[in-house]
Amino acid sequence: MKLHYCKTPLGNFGDDLNTWLWPTLLGDSFFNSDEDSLFLGVGTILNKKIPKEPEKIVLGTGTGYQRPPKVDGKFSIYSVRGPLTARALNIPPRKSIGDSAYLCLATNHFKKLFALQKKHKVSVIPHHQTATTIDWTIIEKVAGLHFIDPRKEFFNVFQDIAQSECVLTESLHGAILADALRTVWQPFRMGHRFNTFKWRDWLGSIHIELPAIQRYPILCSDQLSLPRRAKHLIERACGTTLRYDRLKQKPIRTNSAHELEEFANQLKKQARTKPCYLSKDITLQNILNGLTGCVEGIRAHYGNKRRSVA
């Protein structure tokens, strides 16, 4: 069985934790490079790009990028991220247990993080692609916020979240891991990579309804060449016509230093004035119980299957 997840060139802790979480829970021998079956865990990877022929074992995965796949006999769906994914795949609502990143709570390494003392009053976690477009050290300096780089090794990100009193996050898994660590969180959005669908999907699984997600202007500190600006202008026009938010928000100019400082102050104000969120303890426990039951079912079924084949 092969572990199937999104591999980003510069790293993204929410995707990269797959390489540790599933061997920890299912055993190193559970996975190999054999593509006769694929395991889909943490991530927004349920789409038409998934290979059709192999069996797909799905646990806590979401949809939201590209069109969802057509579920057939090749899918063994134990659970998905939330009710919107369940609806998109036309599977029973009871399958929408929650994001499988919550299963970090079932590991001893993660449990030790609760003993750490708080060091940061407010931390900010951008989307892993937004992290590359502006200088977040300026945001740290101007606003006094602790920058958590989502491209760092996932254990380091976990530790930073655990040592924060509050997290402002554009990263969905920044919010999910904060929720797991019982660190209150606030969402924000600025980059064109922000995916509203997957946020609503997850929020539905933890029974939280936000009035709105704080939205900021698109900032880009890169020097945009004329061809790149022209390309983004065309994409924005297409996005408006197609009602495709990710295209509508492509940056078309370089931000000024003043705009970056203004954004830093706006984030600081948000942390001070907007409500923080956290799922209820019972909700978190129910999600963890459901996901743990799925892991046990997979281990029993596929572990026995692998042993019989061997």
pLDDT digit string (tens) for 81-119? 999 999 999 999 999 999 999 999 999 999 999 999 999
pLDDT digit string (tens) for 250-261? 665 676 888 889
Range in 30-44, 72-86, 143-157, 233-247 the model is least confident about: 233-247
Q: For residue 309, give both structure tokens.
A: 């084949």
Q: Which positions ≥6 away from 74 have C-beta within 8 Å?
A: 52, 53, 54, 55, 56
pLDDT at 302: 86
pLDDT at 303: 75
One-letter amino acid of 253: R
Range in 43-47, 228-232, 244-248 the model is least confident about: 244-248
Q: What phi and psi, each to the nearest 5 degrees, are found at residue 185?
A: -140, 155
Q: For residue 78, give both structure tokens.
A: 């134990």
pLDDT at residue 1 is higher than 60: yes
Q: In this structure, are residues 184 and 278 in contact, taking their beta carbons and an 8 Å threshold?
A: yes
pLDDT at 228: 65
pLDDT at residue 306 is higher than 50: no
Average pLDDT over residues 216-241: 67
pLDDT at 107: 97
Of residues 304 and 211, which shows the higher confidence score?
211
pLDDT at 259: 86
pLDDT at 133: 83
pLDDT digit string (tens) for 112-140? 999 999 999 999 999 998 888 888 999 99
Q: In this structure, are residues 54 and 37 in contact, taking their beta carbons and an 8 Å threshold?
A: yes
pLDDT at 236: 63
SS3 percent helix, strand, coil of the chain, rounded to 5, is 45, 15, 40
**Average confidence score pLDDT of the chain:** 89
Residue 309: pLDDT band with limits 50, 70, 90? very low
pLDDT digit string (tens) for 178-228? 999 999 999 999 866 688 999 999 999 999 998 889 988 877 766 666 666
pLDDT at residue 310 is higher than 60: no
pLDDT at 217: 80
What pTM does this model have? 0.90
